[in-house]
Amino acid sequence: MGECDDEDWLLLKPKEPLPSQCCASGCKPCVFDIYERELDKWKRARAKGDIDLLTGKREAPMKSDDVLLNPECFSAFQLESLKKLTEAASLYRFRVPIGVHLKLSLGQHLVLRGTVDGLEVQRAYTPVNRVNAEGYFEVLIKYGHLLMFVSGTGIAPMLSIIQSITDNEEDETFVTLTGCFRTYEDIYMKSLLQEQSLYWNVKTFYVLSKEETLENLPWSYREKTHLGRLNLEVIKTLVNSCRKAPFALVCGSVTFNQDVLNYLRSAGLDDDSCFMF
């Protein structure tokens, strides 16, 4: 029987999905159904003090008629290979025991779970391999990265773009928005920005030129705010944090736009990878 202390059990407790992690396609089960089942399993395992009830260790090797997928819980698969097809699309191949099938119908999808920037992400994908493929299954994951720089009211067109991405459950574009304002009080549309930043693929960062100390900011802003003016060092850090070479969108005053463009060039982006509003 496996033993854990209270701290270990808390680390093993399932994380409740965010509303943005539900694809709203009527999946059976939904990610929230799976969460409730995993939470119930965790509670029963903790009550009995037996971690093996949580891990579900197998006592015998898999046979060809075994079913790998269980709608009641997630199954772990080993990533066998990753093939980059384009700048914005990669083919992921996962290993399956020889002779064992996923037994999915044509067009049926899987819900994959992973961690992105510390946030647990769940997305639905339809395997692109042959239905009778043995020993593996493949999914095609498409994404890009938008790097946004705004000053003042220049945030308006960017929010429209972000909302069009988060409203589309099939859009996997990553977004990093950098808002440049004088102080925390000068940040436009805080509530909407906070709401959008809860999505798994949206991050916000702030540059406050006249704010004196981070202590004046809410806790949720302190780790994602730079005090002072936007400079080359900050922009290099943001560019290097992108998973792929980003496409930059800039909206502000004429001077702001030109300064950011110059910094982006120095950070390695060419003019074809930048758009000025």
- Is 93 known as a binding-site position? no
Read off the pLDDT of residues 128-184 as tens digits, 9 standing for 90 and up.
877 777 788 888 877 789 999 999 989 988 998 999 888 887 788 899 999 999 999
Read off the pLDDT of residues 21-78 as tens digits, 9 standing for 90 and up.
665 566 666 777 777 888 888 888 888 887 777 655 544 444 444 556 666 667 778 8
| Secondary element (H or E) of residue 97 | none
Reference 176, options 154, 150, 156; nearest CA is: 150
Read off the pLDDT of residues 189-237 as tens digits, 9 standing for 90 and up.
999 999 999 888 999 999 999 998 999 899 989 999 999 999 999 999 9
- At residue 64, the pLDDT reads 47
DSSP 8-state code for residue 92: E
- Is 125 known as a binding-site position? yes
Token pair listed for 274: 């930048």
Q: Which domains does the chain have, with CATH numbers?
A: 18-49 (no CATH), 78-142 (2.40.30.10), 145-276 (3.40.50.80)
Burial string for 188-200 (b: 16+ CB within 10 Å, else e) reads eeeeebeebbebb
CA torsion sign for 225, 231, 235, 236 is negative
Question: What is the chain's length?
Answer: 277
Q: Is the pLDDT assigned to residue 259 strictly greater than 80?
A: yes
Separation CA 1–CA 74 (nearest Å): 22
- Is 140 known as a binding-site position? yes
- Is 123 known as a binding-site position? yes
**Identity of residue 95:** R
Separation CA 210–CA 186 (nearest Å): 10
